[in-house]
Structure 1
Amino acid sequence: MSSDDPISPRDLSLTWSARVSLTPRILAVNIIALAMLAGGFFYLDSFRSRILDSRIAQASREARLIADAMAAVAPEERGALIMGYARDTGARLRLYTPEGRLIDDTRLRGSTNAILRDPDKDPWRQDVARFLDGAIDTIVGATRAPLFREKRNGLDWPDVTAALDPTVARASVWRAPDRTPVITAAARYDDGIVFTTANARDITTTVRTERFRLFVVLAIVSLLSILLSLFLARTIVRPLRRLARAAVRVRLGRAREVVVPRLPDRRDEIGLLARALSDMSGALRARIDATEAFAADVTHELKNPLASMRSAVDGLGRVKDPALQEQLLAVVRDDVHRLDRLITDISDASRLDAQLSRAKFESVDVGAMIAALIDGRHARGIERDIRLSFTPREDVPLSVYGEGARLERVFENLIDNAISFSSDTGIIALTATRADDMLVIRIEDEGPGVPEAERESIFRRFHSVRPASEAFGRHSGLGLAIARTIVEGHGGSIMVESREDRRSGAAFVVRLPLAGLD
């Protein structure tokens, strides 16, 4: 999309976030990213489930192996065998009859394997760890294993009951009072059932270690994210607020008091916005100054003919001489014509900027326009036998983009100005040349020329340096100001120079961008 394309309100509209400041929005975006990182806790639950599944399968295989070993040795050797397995695996082993009666137990033989911890005797750090375990399990929706309780009869254990079938070796997961997993498994041998119990604290320790590392990473990333968010909000929100306050003050009519920060060190979009607003406020201040100066000039210019008219009207009431009355009436008519001319030119000058901003430019053949203007002047007759000549170069394109009626007025004003300053039977020469991508039109007369000190001021409104022989009030002093406004509105320039041949006279030079060069 180019800078001139219209922007739809839908492109910039917001829904629910329209009432939220930028700072919480920036924080919210980063917090959402952190929340996605916090999803690692769900992965830890999956990680723990995979470890438990692996341990359950391992417990089933070990129970099957132990049962096969029990069947291969004599009954009197089984006690030593289960103690060896308890020592190697860290589990508690019990032997039951098919009726559920306890035959042997490594705990009774002095083994301290699989003794569950009393959470009430643990330090506070373990309480905190267990609280976090429960909170995270609730958040991630982890399945809660049943609480581990000792059974009097072996058949009260689901694993032992399932192991009555010699082809089945079953394992289960329980929850110890300190929230660590307890894994049980059972398998059948010739005349009994082997039952293993292991408190897998290492799984909880591993998960807590990984969770602590994730907490550390999440805390560091959260701190950095918040700091970066605040930094980003500071670099975006604060200058925007300063610009908004400055814009509000300009809107309240305090443009002259407001200094819009330009942020020259910033090369991003906010810097571009700041400089654009500063330039806009400067242009607005200049426009206000110009409007005030224009209003003052208008008041001054209108007062002169009004004062003259009032004096003439007052004199009509006192003068009885018809000749003097006719002179006073001539003054009134002249002042009325002058007022009419002033009001017309003032109206055109005041609306010119707005009209040019709304105008749709099209290709205009300036050569044909100037030729038509000169032909029309010759057809109507030119005072004092002044001659007009136009010499366009045939190899120079004379088309520009603009509004034909406005450009025609520029050259009418310049030709009128040249005629008023030309000597009798003088020649006004118009030429068209090309300088790079600009069309250059020169209007040279044979008059007295423009003093170098006046060459810029003659383009100011109501400023006029007229020939001594010209009657006062024939010109409003707006013609050249209107011409410059129109030319600059077309992206060109207008100035006055000395003639190139160094002869007496002035040369008005108009430069306009040629059409069809981009």
Structure 2
Amino acid sequence: MASDTDTARPDPGRLSSWFSWLPGSRLGRLIIVLNLLGLTILIAGALVLNELRRGLVNARIDSLTTQGELMATIIDQAATVGEPLPAMDGAYASQILQLLSNPRTQRARLFDSKGRLIADSYWVADRVEWKVLPPARARDDAPGFSLQLNQARKPPAPQSGVQKALAFEVTQALDGKHWSGMRKGDDGERVVSVSIPIQHVQAVLGVLTLEASDVDEIIARERVALIPFILIAIGVTLASSLLLNNLIAQPVRRLARAADRVRLSRARSISLPDIAKRDDELGDLTRSLQDMTHVLSERMDAIERFAADVAHEIKNPLTSLRSAVETLELVKDPVAQARLMNILQQDVTRLDRLVTDISNASRLDAELSREDPKAFDLGHLIGEVVQLYQDTGKPGDPTVAYAAPDALEPIMVSGREGPLGQVFRNLVDNARSFSPPGGQVRVSLERGKGEATIAVDDDGPGIPPDNLETVFERFYTSRPKGAAFGGNSGLGLSIARQIVAAQGGTIHAENRTGADGVVQGARFTVVLPEARR
């Protein structure tokens, strides 16, 4: 992942530290906070206005209840007649209702003890209820007298839901209960209504109903009041969307275009320093892409150098072959012809060795990436490599000895066993090629602090001090006198260093000297990290 890279990170931003308690990544937390902010504002406004609406309705009910109790008390005291069976004087009660009610803001209705309507503030105020009539019919289409008689004989229409609600409210009050709440009015609008029984001692003389029809106006005003919250929420959402577009969409598009430039215009690397400075996943991604393209650029340069070196190394034996072939036709001396044939054979052998080693070197990266690292016993691997040389050695060839570690526990390393075996074979082959006939190559393994050290010693002439690093370069060869021509390509030590570096280790060369300071041979040391237990 990008967050696991070793690229440098800026100091954490203030916004990320504020919301570090949220789950997820930094950009994920930012997206969550910004998208929820507008919704939170809208929900908070709706909750506040709902509480306000409940408060207004409750206050309206309280106001109507106070007015109704006062009016019911006055009607009880002034319009009650008859002893010992009290009754309400309907005419006088209607006059009192006319004096006390305010028909412009509310409606007051008075019912007798049987639930019959005896007074209405709309009557007192001469309020006319109107509605749009259907279009008039033509004279020929007018219904006849018999149809009118039939309609007159029809039973009365059943009560509507509004009338049933009012009747239920009045019935509750006639039972001596105070009723309050919201219901539909005659025009279909919502009204706040209270019904209060008019009682004289225990007798219910009638019911006073007060209605306020301004509830819809209150709700409409509340909805208008909600508009600023909605606009704020929309603004915050748009702002957060633009911010996310600038923080995420645009940088991702720039990264895509930079990658396209690398692909189309053959650029060697991605360079977006302003995005790379960011302390989030996009910054990690940019730094990782920059590092990746830089590594790829270095790999391309290495491939170009390798191709140039290969062309140069192959050109030498080919030139020699062409010269020997051209000369062979002109030479008639059998001895000279045999010498030229020997040169041709050596050049062919050299070309074959070069092609084989070049093929192995070109497949090395693919082989290293194809096999997953795993822990294995390093001592067992080295023992198998040494045993192979001991079993296949010929008389007079340098012998190979192995000094196994004394530790009871095996030395475990994490890596790729096949390529590491090739490293030790290359080192032993190199040591044998420099050792004199009858000499010895010694391989040792030791455990250090969290690492394993492998040393390969020979009894050869050593390495010139100036070439201790040069020997690991590609196609570098420095053979002693008498060594077979074309038997080495100069790629063995270069391949060994490449494999060891891929395993996270190091390799270096040095000369072994005696007490008198005389060089006694060369030593190649490989250091590998031990596997974690």
Structure 1 length-normalised TM: 0.69
8 A contact 2:444–2:456 mirrored in 1: yes
Q: Matched residues, percent identical?
A: 35
- Specify the alignment match of 2:97 in structure 1: 82
Segments of structure 1 that go 5 or more residues without pairing to the other structure are 5-22, 117-156
- Specify the alignment match of 1:333 in structure 2: 345
Cα deviation, 1:413-463, whole Å, max 9, x if unaligned, reads 112212233356554332211222211001123434334443333222222
Shift in Å, 1:296 = 1.4
8 A contact 1:176–1:182 mirrored in 2: no
- Specify the alignment match of 2:487 in structure 1: 474
For residue 529 of structure 2, the aligned residue among 504, 507, 513 is 513
Measured in 2, the distance between the counterparts of 1:165 and 1:402 equals 89
| Distance change >3 Å, CA 266–CA 450, structure 1 → 2 | farther
Measured in 2, the distance between the counterparts of 1:449 and 1:331 equals 29
Aligned residue for 1:441, secondary structure, equals strand
Map 1:249-288 → 2, pairs under 5 A: 249-252=261-264, 254-256=266-268, 258-259=270-271, 261=273, 263-288=275-300
Map 1:322-401 → 2, pairs under 5 A: 322-381=334-393, 386-395=398-407, 397-401=410-414
Matched, 1:238 2:250: yes
- Specify the alignment match of 2:503 in structure 1: 490
Measured in 1, the distance between the counterparts of 2:252 and 2:301 equals 27
Map 1:452-467 → 2, pairs under 5 A: 452-467=465-480
- Specify the alignment match of 1:151 in structure 2: none
For 2:474, give the aligned amino acid.
R
8 A contact 2:174–2:207 mirrored in 1: no
Map 1:112-151 → 2, pairs under 5 A: none
Aligned residue for 1:436, secondary structure, equals coil
Shift in Å, 1:246 = 2.0
Segments of structure 2 that go 5 or more residues without pairing to the other structure are 5-29, 82-87, 130-161
8 A contact 2:393–2:399 mirrored in 1: no
For residue 301 of structure 1, the aligned residue among 306, 313, 320 is 313
Matched, 1:433 2:449: no
Measured in 1, the distance between the counterparts of 2:504 and 2:304 equals 25
For 2:522, give the aligned amino acid.
A
- Specify the alignment match of 2:185 in structure 1: 174
Map 1:161-200 → 2, pairs under 5 A: 167=174, 173-174=184-185, 181=191, 199-200=212-213
Which segment is superposed worse, 497-506 or 89-98? Answer: 89-98
CA-based RMSD: 5.0
Shift in Å, 1:345 = 0.7
Shift in Å, 1:507 = 2.0
Shift in Å, 1:70 = 5.6
8 A contact 1:175–1:181 mirrored in 2: no
Shift in Å, 1:313 = 1.4
Map 1:54-69 → 2, pairs under 5 A: 54=61, 58=65, 62=69, 68-69=76-77
| Distance change >3 Å, CA 458–CA 175, structure 1 → 2 | farther
8 A contact 2:49–2:222 mirrored in 1: no
Shift in Å, 1:260 = 5.1
- Specify the alignment match of 1:315 in structure 2: 327
Which segment is superposed worse, 94-103 or 331-340? Answer: 94-103
For residue 431 of structure 2, the aligned residue among 418, 421, 445 is 418
Shift in Å, 1:77 = 6.2
Measured in 2, the distance between the counterparts of 1:406 and 1:232 equals 48
Measured in 2, the distance between the counterparts of 1:498 and 1:463 equals 18
Which segment is superposed worse, 348-357 or 73-82? Answer: 73-82
Measured in 1, the distance between the counterparts of 2:223 and 2:308 equals 79
- Specify the alignment match of 1:123 in structure 2: none
For 1:398, give the aligned amino acid.
I
Measured in 2, the distance between the counterparts of 1:160 and 1:425 equals 120
8 A contact 1:255–1:281 mirrored in 2: no
Aligned residue for 1:323, secondary structure, equals helix
Matched, 1:409 2:422: yes
Aligned residue for 1:440, secondary structure, equals strand
Aligned residue for 1:266, secondary structure, equals coil
For 1:320, give the aligned amino acid.
K
**Number of aligned pairs?**
453
8 A contact 1:183–1:197 mirrored in 2: yes
8 A contact 2:435–2:458 mirrored in 1: yes
| Distance change >3 Å, CA 260–CA 326, structure 1 → 2 | farther
- Specify the alignment match of 1:72 in structure 2: 80
| Distance change >3 Å, CA 295–CA 105, structure 1 → 2 | closer
Aligned residue for 1:400, secondary structure, equals strand
Shift in Å, 1:60 = 11
Aligned residue for 1:267, secondary structure, equals coil
8 A contact 1:30–1:229 mirrored in 2: no
Which segment is superposed worse, 412-421 or 45-54? Answer: 45-54
Structure 2 length-normalised TM: 0.67
Measured in 1, the distance between the counterparts of 2:221 and 2:463 equals 92
8 A contact 2:411–2:452 mirrored in 1: yes
For 1:336, give the aligned amino acid.
V
Shift in Å, 1:480 = 0.6
- Specify the alignment match of 1:442 in structure 2: 455
For residue 241 of structure 2, the aligned residue among 216, 229, 232 is 229
Cα deviation, 1:256-307, whole Å, max 9, x if unaligned, reads 1642558443333222222221221112111211111111111111111111
Cα deviation, 1:363-416, whole Å, max 9, x if unaligned, reads 544334434444443454468664543323211733434444432221121122
Measured in 1, the distance between the counterparts of 2:193 and 2:462 equals 112
Shift in Å, 1:342 = 0.8
Shift in Å, 1:474 = 2.2
- Specify the alignment match of 1:140 in structure 2: none
8 A contact 1:48–1:207 mirrored in 2: no
| Distance change >3 Å, CA 210–CA 453, structure 1 → 2 | farther
Aligned residue for 1:447, secondary structure, equals coil
Shift in Å, 1:200 = 4.6
Aligned residue for 1:466, secondary structure, equals coil
- Specify the alignment match of 2:155 in structure 1: none
8 A contact 1:399–1:514 mirrored in 2: yes
